[in-house]
Amino acid sequence: MFKKVLIANRGEIALRIIRACRELGIATVAVHSTADTNALHVKFADESVCIGPPPAPKSYLHIPSIISAAEVTGADAVHPGYGFLSENPEFADMCVRCRLHFIGPPPQLMRLMGGKIPARKAMVEAGVPILPGTGLLETDDQALAAVEEIGLPVIIKASAGGGGRGMKIVRERDKLLSSLEMARAEALAGFGSSDVYLERYVEAPRHIEVQIVADGAGGVAALGERECSIQRRHQKLIEEAPSVALTDEEREKLLALCERAMRHIGYANVGTLEFLYERDQPGSEANGRFYFMEMNTRIQVEHTVTEMVTGLDLVREQIRLAAGEPLSSTFTSRFKPRGHAIECRVNAEDPVTFAPSPGRITALNLPGGFGVRVDTHIYEGYVVPPNYDSLLAKLIVHAEDRESAIKRMRRALDEFVVEGVKTNLPFHRKLIDHPEFIAGRIDTHFIARLSPSA
């Protein structure tokens, strides 16, 4: 097992990793920008190193500074959390070259599954269904020919990206080339690569993802699915486990498919396979179809809901697997969800315009009670910097069934008070009370219908 882990991240995920390390008896090193000098992850780590000014490219994304911090403090492993460098194979390569264990999959697997085009190819070889689409689009003629074959609508996606950047939906053939140009420009600005591809666009899908743990030696477990359909501009706001959309038969088929695919590529550590789920007929209860979208080769923001319905510590398992330990015997039997969990992402943003709202938190009350969990890095007096993601906290509830979980979430949201900055708590209260959400009749366009300006 590792002796000292450097956490190449900030915020609530840095605290989450510190807690897991402490329970494993591992010392921790926090890195921080000058904007995060008074952050909780800096206060709770055993050591801390300032790695640069507030802009992420000069601190949390600056690989030489992070590697130097690890060498100076004698760390033997690096945990990247999520975001920042967590899916950067060059960073993982650098860690390996500097004799640091990277807590995540090997760089070659990050390259295989981190790029959407090679990931699609690998999943086809593994027998996983994908949407009709293309490889890398090198010319306009390729795009025009693909639309003729696939039909409209189609969606253009950045090969190296996510989060909605570099995505363009095309419903009319004469808008294809202009959309392609815009998608390439967005992809280049957001990810440093203008590579794009296109695939058939599904009008009203659900977003279902499967949590994977694997040891690289054939030990693989799919820990059930998460429902992530409540999104605003491709950014998730509410996640649940399990999904109310799936039958037991569909769930078993999907989890077995994911396990076979991960054995096929020899995956190691934790990861998440993301799918679009399309009903054969909108509104029907008949079985639907799953289409692989992408894989995240890291811990997810929403890993917490899986932890709540399994009772398993996924960050602890990440660290164990990276240290070369085999998959725990806990994972040998098929996953069975224990009750229902829901997570709301609480962001520092205007609940109407969704504009970021940095500033000082002047008052704070975190909800509590049975079945309530809050993962957060904020405190009264904390200054929310304008330089990073607006996530303030993850509010997670667990109950014996979905109806009870919704009631518990409603109560917890009412107890959650943040003053000094605007938050999306009022928007979450509106969502959780919506009859369609309560009935489980949701898809990825639910928020757009509920709040067209969102």
Measured CA to CA, the distance from residue 189 to residue 161 in angstroms comes to: 11
**Is the pLDDT at 400 greater than 70, yes or no?**
yes
Same domain membership, residue 82 and residue 173: no
Of 298, 345, 402, 408, the active-site residue reads 298
130-144, 148-162, 208-222, 273-287: segment of lowest average pLDDT: 273-287
Same domain membership, residue 336 and residue 434: yes
Q: What is the residue-averaged pLDDT of the chain? A: 94
Separation CA 156–CA 197 (nearest Å): 6
Is there a domain that residue 116 lies in? no
**Residue 408 maps to which CATH number?**
3.30.470.20
When pLDDT is averaged across residues 313-331 and rounded to a whole number, the result is: 91
Report which of 164, 13, 124, 174 is spatially closest to residue 79, judged by C-alpha positions: 13
| Predicted confidence band of residue 333 (pLDDT cuts 50, 70, 90) | low
Q: Is the same domain home to 296 and 418?
A: yes
- Whether residues 157 and 80 share a domain: the answer is no
Does 403 fall in a domain?
A: yes
121 located within any domain: no
Domain assignment present for residue 325? The answer is yes
End position of a domain, from candidates 150, 179, 200 = 200
| Boundary (domain end) residue, out of 184, 200, 216 | 200
Q: Given a cut of 60, is residue 281 above it in pLDDT?
A: no
**Where in the sequence is the domain holding 196, given as residue range(s)?**
132-200
Same-domain check for residues 286 and 364: yes
Q: Is residue 382 part of a domain?
A: yes
Are 180 and 218 contained in the same domain? no
Burial annotation 356-391 (CB, 10 A radius, 16+ → b, else e)? bbeeebeebebbeeebbbbbbbbeeebbbbeebbbb
Cα distances (angstroms) measured from residue 403 to each of 277, 329, 339, 437, 438: 23, 32, 10, 11, 8
Domain annotation covers residue 211: yes
Q: Read off the CATH number of the domain in which 25 is found.
A: 3.40.50.20
Residues 387 and 285 in one domain: yes
* Complete DSSP assignment for 152-201: S-EEEEETT--TTTT-EEE-SGGGHHHHHHHHHHHHHHHHS---EEEEEP
Q: How confident is the model at residue 110 (pLDDT cuts 50, 70, 90)?
A: very high
Average pLDDT over residues 220-224: 95
The answer to whether 275 touches 315, Cβ cutoff 8 Å, is no
- For residues 329 and 381, state if they share a domain: yes
Are both 40 and 69 inside the same structural domain? yes
Residue 343 and residue 237 share a domain: yes
In a domain, 373, yes or no: yes
More reliable by pLDDT, 332 or 146: 146
Model confidence band, residue 78 (pLDDT cutoffs 50, 70, 90)? very high
Regarding whether 232 and 284 lie in a shared domain, the answer is: yes
Q: Is 206 a catalytic residue?
A: no
Are the beta carbons of 297 and 270 closer than 8 angstroms? no
Averaged pLDDT, 56-63: 96
CATH number at residue 153: 3.30.1490.20
End position of a domain, from candidates 200, 224, 254? 200
pLDDT at 188 over 70: yes
pLDDT at res. 222: 96
Does residue 123 lie within any of the structural domains? Answer: no
* pLDDT (mean) for 191-216: 93
> In this predicted model, what pLDDT tens digit does every residue of 401-432 receive, in sequence order?
999 999 999 999 999 999 999 999 999 999 99
Q: Are residues 164 and 229 in the same domain?
A: no
- The pTM assigned to this predicted structure is 0.93
The total number of structural domains that make up the chain = 3
